[in-house]
Amino acid sequence: MSNYPMSNYPMSNYPITINVDPRDIALLADEDLALAITIAEKKSMKGMSKSDTRAWIDTKTRCLQQSIMALTAIRNTLAAVDNLPDEILIKIFWHLALSVRPCLCPVGKISPGSGISWLVVAKVCRRWRNIALWTPQLYTFIDARNIYITRTFLSRSCNIPVDVYMQSDSSSTNIHGTMAEIKPHFSRVRELQCRARYQSLLALTLHVGSLPAPMLESLHLEQTTIGRILTSNDAVVISEIFKGHTPALRRIYLAHVSIPWTSPIFTGLTELYLLLQHPFISPSMDTFLKVLENCPLLEVLTLVRAGPTLGADFLEYPPPSRVVELARLRQIYLQLSRPVDTQHVLAHLDTPPTAIIIICCQLDSNQDFSAVLPRDCSGLRGLSQVRHLRVFVGDVQSITLTGFTHPSAPVLVMSLVVGENEGMLKPRLFFSQLHRFFPFSYLEDLQLVDCAARVSKEKYVEVLSKLPSLTHLTASEKWPARQRQILSALTMPPLGNDEGVVCPSLKVLRFSGLDSKQEVVDDVANTCRFRAFRGAALDAVHIAGLDPEGVLSLLHLNVVSMVCVDDSWVKEMFLPSIS
């Protein structure tokens, strides 16, 4: 094999062999030299000294290398990617720049240079370099964790709007230095994200308190800490920000950072996220409703230990003084101090039928979700359209309820947790109150996850008796279960009627986590046979993981027309929240 580095020389047409005679290598070298230089030039080398010959060869080598580079550049222009117009390449570079932006990870976990790694495209060719270096919109994301990067990107972005990302886990000195670079350009800041510790956030407020933000559309302020959990009392309180001049502001995200609800920045918003606000600035219901009225286009509202609260003496919420209609609302997330606070807020809102309502709260041991949803609240119109209901019991202290409309569009997610005291919450309390909020006569699909050991046959009969339109029933367990309670309930007549069986429209019965013992399969077969005898035969039974003998026994008994063992649907059954 030749001793020449293959990376420096193009592949020749000569076959590659091993143990080549050195005389053959010399012959090949002479042939290559004859191709590289003319005979006249070769003759001119005769009579030169060795040093002159080496100098002549070095000069000729550089010329040939330049020619190769020129030919390579010309060849590259013939590549398909080079036919793309500049506008398309700019879009590609832009999406690449978006993909390497630092995400909201723990402070200090991302190197300051990660956000500019997209600049590697400038090393590909001269054209790409010119596009990468002289397109201002590629520099509109300012990773302000590095002063040099901040200064360079502010300069190259010219005068177009920019997004500023600030993250600090050290002293407030970094914030002062960064803001010294940004303040002259702040009038064109479109998005400001700052994740920092207490003192750094205070330093930021010193700069932006009286600094107008005419183009600011999104504000994200988040207090971080190391080694401890922040509480509401640890929140940074900012009395004034941007001099109240934010005419373009549409999105606010504040985590452990509080701004008085009377601030003019809470106007014209489409998204409002408030997490763990300082109790000192807790608004009255009147102030809270004024903010919502000033945001008629609000689409997302998230309140976590934020918003209006009732005093400890209030065990029930007072009747609403007025109701605010949020016609554009897509989602509301509430995690307030007490269930009665959740009721109080929801009772004052009129939400669209398709809005997703997510509620997380802690209940007393003798409460169910009727203590969370307000009584006769006309604003919760979406609940009347629920066709698909999922009840997930994580344990006896945690229950998640998910409601979907007919096309499986989510309208409600509830995650309820009870305390450690004796007499803990049981799923049966939920079933006792479901009919107050969900029109059982329209329900078509009911999923019960991890309820087998916690609900009696009598309770199942009580609930299933109110489901005349139910066509699909799912019972899923994480561990093998016999499901005797629900199977027995499916053979019982409805309450108050001695004829027929519960859920007369039921066509599909699905199980996962079912004990595969023969007696359990017999229980399923007997249930199917009894329903067929009563004129309510099932079309299909889906049992995840059922062995061949179980399938054959169900088919042999001729109690159902189809048995399915596909378990592709099982995983989603155990997701307590919407994917």
Inside any domain, residue 339: no
Residues sharing a CB contact under 8 Å with residue 62, sequence separation 6 or more, in sequence order: none
Q: What is the pLDDT of residue 23?
A: 60
Strand-pair partners of 303? 274, 334
Q: For the segment 32-51, what is each residue's pLDDT rounded down to a tens digit?
A: 656 666 655 665 666 778 88
Specify the residue for token string 């077969």.
525
Inside any domain, residue 230: no
d(CA 149, CA 141): 10
Q: How far is CA 380 from CA 106, 385, 399, 568, in A?
A: 37, 10, 21, 33
Inside any domain, residue 185: no
Least confident piece of the model among 100-104, 234-238, 349-353, 455-459: 100-104
Boundary of a domain, candidates 55, 82, 109: 82
Q: For the segment 143-183, what is each residue's pLDDT rounded down to a tens digit?
A: 888 888 889 999 999 989 999 988 876 656 678 888 999 99
Of the candidates 39, 195, 44, the one whose C-alpha atom is nearest the C-alpha of residue 106 is 195
Inside any domain, residue 433: no
Task: Compute φ and ψ for 303, nearest 5 degrees.
Answer: -130, 115
pLDDT, mean over the chain: 82
Q: What is the pLDDT of residue 175?
A: 84
Confidence of residue 17 (pLDDT cuts 50, 70, 90): very low
d(CA 68, CA 272): 59
Based on the structure, what is the number of domains in the chain?
A: 2
CATH of the domain at 484: 3.80.10
Q: How far is CA 567 from CA 512, 548, 555, 573, in A?
A: 8, 15, 19, 11
Inside any domain, residue 67: yes
Q: What is the pLDDT of residue 112?
A: 61
Kindly state the helix (H) or strand (E) to which residue 335 belongs, with its residue range. strand 331-335
Compute the C-alpha angle 564/567/571, nearest 5°. Answer: 150
**Residue 137 in 3-state DSSP?**
helix
Q: Quote the domain boundaries for residue 561.
A: 444-579
Inside any domain, residue 454: yes
Q: What is the pLDDT of residue 2?
A: 39
- In this predicted structure, the answer to whether residue 571 has a pLDDT above a threshold of 70 is no
Q: What is the pLDDT of residue 397?
A: 74
Inside any domain, residue 490: yes
**Residue 90 in 3-state DSSP?**
helix
Mean pLDDT along residues 428-455: 80
Q: What is the pLDDT of residue 574?
A: 55
Of the candidates 107, 415, 398, the one whose C-alpha atom is nearest the C-alpha of residue 255 is 107
- In this predicted structure, the answer to whether residue 107 has a pLDDT above a threshold of 70 is no
Q: For the segment 397-412, what is each residue's pLDDT rounded down to a tens digit?
A: 788 888 998 877 889 8
d(CA 222, CA 234): 12
Compute the C-alpha angle 407/408/409, nearest 5°. Answer: 95
pTM summary value: 0.78
DSSP symbols for 497-530: --SS-SSTT--EEEEEEE--SHHHHHHHHHHHHH
Boundary of a domain, candidates 47, 82, 117: 82
Boundary of a domain, candidates 54, 82, 110: 82
Inside any domain, residue 449: yes
